[in-house]
Structure 1
Amino acid sequence: MGFVCSGDDSFKIPKDLAKQYEFPKCYFNKENLLELSISLKEFNKDSFFKLPFCNTLEIEALGGKIVLGDGISSPRSKEYAFKSLEELKDNLSKWKNVELKSERIDLFKDLVKFLSLDNNKIVFSVQGSFTIICSLIDPKIFYKLSMKNPEEAENILKLVEDIIIRFAKSLIDVGVNIISYGDVMGLKSIVGKRVYDKLSAFSMIRVIKELIFYNNNINIHLCGKMSNELIQYEYAKLHEIEVNDYKSYGDALLNLNIYNKIIGLRCINTTNRPMNTKYIYELILN
């Protein structure tokens, strides 16, 4: 069983919904965020609330320069916040042993708390270390360091991993049920075999291992491409979990009733799509 990314599974706010809100102000309004999250779940006929409607939350908090967009176009990096590795490392070091915070992070945590009061199931997307770094500084600078001085690159990666882990744990603490974890910029197809085997695969694994047993009610859902590479290049084994005849992938996940699992080989944004198989795919790290 492999995974092929169709390229059209990324999170999008439908135009008809986006037009009902004033962006980017909506991203900073608790009532708007609640209304939008409910509308999206209903519109998509989904089993889960999916947050935070973007892939830039951590990057913004770390000083990234972001264009928030108009709802139809998603938030994205505008330019690199740091010109040198020294600047980047100095900034990341400020967050050592400090919980990642921003106005938008606080709003989304409040939203998770509110939604979880009614036992709603919540998926929250968290970005990986390479993806965060390559949104803060020109990727060529970091990839060059990864080739020439992998030990120093690993030091920077571990600073980011520490931030990611504490951030994800804080989300679990307020009621998130599934952490959706991806690190697109660290894929072997992007960084090449040498950097993948030396750095990025191990960075992914370190984060996953820290989160998977954080509490007894959490699962980690990996990006389909990321999980496929971890299996393909023998960092993990595939275990098929047989499930009942559910109509959608989301219903199957919702009724899994087993926890502390690393799930993959499918995109989390397809939870409203037909199941098309009797298995959920678990990864067991080697």
Structure 2
Amino acid sequence: MGKIIDFKCTYQNSVGINQEVTKKLSLKFPEAYKNWNSMALISEELKKYDGEAFCTMPFCHTVEGEAMGGIINLGDEKIGPRAKDYICKKAEDILNLPSIDYSKGRIAEVLKACKHLRDKGENVMLYVSGPFTIMNVLIEPRYIFKVFRKNPDVMQSIFNKFQNEILMFIKEAEKVGVNMISYADSSGALNILGPKFSKQTVEMFTYPLLKKVEEVIKNETIVLLCPKTTFALLGTDKAQWKDIELGQPMKYSEACIKTIGKAKFVGQMCIKNKGFNLKNGIIKTIKLL
């Protein structure tokens, strides 16, 4: 067994929108976060502003938790949606939360925005959160760490619930044409969980989830892993690097698009690092073992 190495990230929870973009669009907030047409418009303008090759959705890490009953402060043009009040008093309460209904609420609007952008010919990357990030919307973290330590069977049941929800979200995303999935769980990283719980999370949740994702996604879809997740998989001997030659130097974000159809997973750099270049023209993909 190897050792999990932490990835020093300066982009944690940095999903959001630029105020220069919001001023240009003259949208009303927080209503703009609720409707697919305004979401799509913001995403298009952010793509232009950042000079990127794809559109991104949504602009926060709260849509899954909200769809499970979480209470959200939708914010404004300066600060995006974030958790407001916890609805679970103990970890076991999570097991009684409803499954996500993708036909209503903000999560449905996110998917409509994705479909609209794909119908216009855009590459679309959907941010999908891991269990600890979703739980940040629902419950105080100390209750999760307590049940993880004292009752791993309950923790496994909680992990199973989130595995089902995340897998379904990815399936629904593919139905509307999303071709890039960004998976991250910064609230469940090594610097927060520690080595022991990080290893257990990989074995109980991350690896089983990604093996299922690998089976269900199409060849036209690629999953961009947060490097923290990548290093957790490598450090527990659940994955290994596989280099793919792209023929010329290019931005990492562009390389991820070029890799669609050649690999299911990449994750050597945070996709929010817009200036990262592959000077040797080689991208490191991830092969699950």
Q: Distance in 1 between matches of 2:27 and 2:101?
A: 30
Counterpart of 2:149? 147
Question: Would you say the 8 A contact 1:250–1:272 is kept in 2?
Answer: no
Q: Aligned pair 1:22/2:25, yes or no?
A: no
Q: Distance in 2 between matches of 1:68 and 1:277?
A: 42
Q: Aligned pair 1:240/2:243, yes or no?
A: yes
Please, which runs of 5 or more residues in structure 2 have no aligned partner?
Answer: none
Distance 1:275 1:23, change over 3 A: farther
Q: Distance in 2 between matches of 1:72 and 1:160?
A: 30
* TM-score, L = length of structure 2: 0.89
Aligned length: 282
Q: Aligned pair 1:252/2:255, yes or no?
A: yes
Per-residue deviation, 1:280: 1.5
Query: 3-state DSSP class of the match of 1:54?
Result: coil
| CA distances 1:253-276 after superposition (whole Å, capped 9, x unpaired) | 222242452110211223564334
Please give the residue correspondences for 1:164-175 in structure 2 after superposition, counting only pairs within 5 Å: 164-175=166-177
Question: Would you say the 8 A contact 1:130–1:157 is kept in 2?
Answer: no
Distance 1:39 1:109, change over 3 A: same
Q: Aligned pair 1:67/2:73, yes or no?
A: yes
Question: Would you say the 8 A contact 1:112–1:122 is kept in 2?
Answer: yes
Counterpart of 1:269? 272
Please give the residue correspondences for 1:78-157 in structure 2 after superposition, counting only pairs within 5 Å: 78-91=84-97, 94-95=98-99, 99-157=101-159
Question: Would you say the 8 A contact 1:130–1:183 is kept in 2?
Answer: yes
Bigger mean CA offset, 58-67 vs 234-243: 234-243
Distance 1:188 1:201, change over 3 A: farther
Per-residue deviation, 1:11: 2.5
Distance 1:202 1:71, change over 3 A: farther
Per-residue deviation, 1:124: 0.2
Query: 3-state DSSP class of the match of 1:269?
Result: coil
Distance 1:102 1:260, change over 3 A: farther
Q: Distance in 2 between matches of 1:9 and 1:149?
A: 29
Q: Distance in 2 between matches of 1:278 and 1:10?
A: 27
Distance 1:271 1:84, change over 3 A: same
Q: Distance in 2 between matches of 1:173 and 1:151?
A: 33
Per-residue deviation, 1:147: 0.8
Q: Distance in 2 between matches of 1:146 and 1:59?
A: 20
Per-residue deviation, 1:55: 0.9
Letter in 1 for 2:261: I
Q: Distance in 2 between matches of 1:257 and 1:283?
A: 13
Counterpart of 2:220? 217
Task: Give RMSD over aligned pairs.
Answer: 2.2
| CA distances 1:26-58 after superposition (whole Å, capped 9, x unpaired) | 112333222211111111110011111111110
Structure 1 runs, 4 residues or longer, greater than 3 Å off:
1-4, 98-102, 199-202, 271-277
Match of 1:56 among 53, 59, 62: 62
Q: Distance in 2 between matches of 1:170 and 1:241?
A: 29
Distance 1:125 1:8, change over 3 A: closer
Question: Would you say the 8 A contact 1:186–1:201 is kept in 2?
Answer: no
Question: Would you say the 8 A contact 1:46–1:272 is kept in 2?
Answer: no
Per-residue deviation, 1:9: 8.3
Q: Aligned pair 1:11/2:19, yes or no?
A: no
Q: Aligned pair 1:231/2:237, yes or no?
A: no
Please, which runs of 5 or more residues in structure 1 have no aligned partner?
Answer: none
Counterpart of 2:38? 32
| CA distances 1:63-116 after superposition (whole Å, capped 9, x unpaired) | 11211111321211122121123432211xx32xx6445421121211222221
| CA distances 1:142-167 after superposition (whole Å, capped 9, x unpaired) | 11111111111101110111111111
Distance 1:243 1:4, change over 3 A: farther
Letter in 1 for 2:209: V
Per-residue deviation, 1:201: 4.5
